[in-house]
Each structure stands twice: as structure tokens, then as C-alpha cells.
Structure 1
């Protein structure tokens, strides 16, 4: 499954299917990012799709609103002092399993580390199309991650906000969509 980003900034965008159906909206205000999911409700056909807030991300925590307990995010020990190295970001999910966002081949990939690392999702940057065909940036959800799409989207936005977009060498180019 692919979720295309309307804009290349993961902290202020719409995530939609390749057919153009909006699935998530990410809004960032000073101090807090809110992630909403759009749903179809059969009993509310006259209103169309309904938006519900899935998570909130601020500077100190990530909170899934489906859960009573916020998910605490912890960086890998010692990794925050390295420079010019793409840092893995390890944290425990609501199921108490360890998850890691890690840069592989210039793309962030989410792994669940149960017994062996299993990839759940990967982010692909947009291409302008000078050398190859142009494409929007997208979040690719692998079959192992289909049941936790909300969790993948929320942790990706949090990862991008705190550890990827803050890198001095990262340039967000919204015009390359």
C-alpha cells in the first residue's frame, strides 16, 4: 500500500492513496503536530468522510489517542552524539515490542524487532524527473504493516519532525511534488 504525500514536508501535508483519496492529514502548529485519519461512515452518507484525530506529537512525547497511555519515545543510547550519521531511532510500541526507524539506502525504513527485524514501512522521497520519471514522495506500507497503519504514519511524522527535518543537511522542497 502506498500513501502519497501531497507536499514534501511530512509535518504539514495530506497523505493519500495513488487514486487521490485522502487518508490522513498532518497539521503542525507551534509546539504541536496533529495527525487525523479520514473515515467513511455508512450511517452518515450525507456528511461524506469524517475526520478523527489519531495522534498528537509535541516536543517531548508522542501520544496515540486510541490508547490511554502515551508512547514514550527514547533515542538509542549514545546515538544522539554522533554527527553526519543517519541515526536509528528505537522505541517501544503499544504492544511493548521494539521498533526502529533507520535510514537504509537514503530512505527511512521502519522495522519491528521481535525475533528478527521485519520491515513494516519505507519512505521514498519525491523525484523531480530530470533523469528518471517524476514521482511524489510516498510512504510505502509493507504487508507486515497493514494492521498498524495509524502507528506507522504517526511514528513516521514524529521521526521526520524530530530527527530528520532538524538535520542541517536536509532540505524540504515543497515545489518538487
Structure 2
């Protein structure tokens, strides 16, 4: 399954299916609000877009609070309740993500499986962080089409990831915001 990014910016985009149907909306806003003595610089909302018999519905599946280059928090929701929380700290602290190297993130998902986002030749790849190293998803950047055919950037979800698409999309956006904070600067 491929979800193409309408805008070439994971923090401000619409993810569409190969048929052109909008599947997810990702919006980042400047905050400056305070929560529990912490200043939230930006809030990113990940919303699943669905067509139902009653019309189009929007379900917020994730919220990313960006506190600065050193810290962000992802809350993943299911049926309106917080199901999973991921805290990312670059400094020493209580982090639920292992920042083993500059290019990787290891974490345990809501299904108690170990996952890892890793940069492979400029492309982030999510895989099971166990002996199987099963690929779950990968991000492919846009091509301008000067030498080869142009293409939009897309998030490719492999068969092993079909049952956890919300987790993939929300952690992908979180990883990209933490790894490349400049993406939250533009709309």
C-alpha cells in the first residue's frame, strides 16, 4: 500500500491512496501554549479520513507535541481514548524511545512489539526490531524528474504493517519532526 504526500512536507500534508482518496491529514500549528510548566512550541495532529455511509468522518489518531529540538511527545488514540504514548528526549531523561544513533529510533509499540525507524541511504524505514528484522514501512522522497520519471513522496506500507497503519503514520511524522525539525517551519 502506498500513501502519497500531496505536499512534500510530512508535517503539513494530506496522505492519499493510489486511487487519489484522502486517507490522512497532517496539520502542524504554532502554539506557544504552556502545559504543566512546559512550553509547547508546535502541535501536530494526525487525522484519519474515512468515507462511511453517513458521509466523510475525521478521527484524530495522534497528536505530537513539539517542545523543541530536544523533546517531543506522541499520543496515539483509539476510540477517543489515549492508547499509546511515546516520549522522545535527546538529553538524558526518561525517554520511551531509544535514540541509539542520530539516524534511528527504537520503541515498543502498543502491541508490545519492538519497532525501529532507521535511516537507510536517506530513506527512513520502519522494521520490527527483533531477530526477523521484518520491514513494516518506508518513506520515499520525491523525485524531480530531471534524470528519471518524477514522483511524489510516499509512505510505502508493506504487508506486515497493514494492521498498524495509524501507528506507522503517527510515528513516521514524529520521527521526521524530531529528525528534521526544519520541516515544521513551512506550510
Normalized against structure 1, the TM-score is what? 0.82
1:166 aligns with 2:181: yes
**What runs of 5+ residues in structure 2 fail to find an aligned partner?**
31-41, 67-71, 88-95
More strand by share: 2
SS in structure 2 of the partner of residue 159 of structure 1: helix
Superposed CA RMSD in Å reads 2.1
How far off its partner does 1:52 sit? 1.0
In structure 2, C-alpha distance between the alignment counterparts of 1:98 and 1:9, rounded to whole Å: 27
1:70 aligns with 2:84: yes
In structure 2, C-alpha distance between the alignment counterparts of 1:28 and 1:35, rounded to whole Å: 9
How far off its partner does 1:112 sit? 1.3
TM superposition outliers: structure 1 runs of 4+ over 4 Å: none
SS in structure 2 of the partner of residue 149 of structure 1: helix
Residue 4 and residue 53 in structure 1: after superposition, are their counterparts in 2 closer, same or farther (change >3 A)?
A: same
How far off its partner does 1:115 sit? 3.6
How far off its partner does 1:75 sit? 4.1
In structure 2, C-alpha distance between the alignment counterparts of 1:105 and 1:91, rounded to whole Å: 21
Asked whether the 8 Å contact 1:71–1:92 carries over to 2, the reply is no
Other-structure match for 1:7:
7
Other-structure match for 2:60:
53
Residue 132 and residue 108 in structure 1: after superposition, are their counterparts in 2 closer, same or farther (change >3 A)?
A: same
Corresponding residue pairs, total:
160
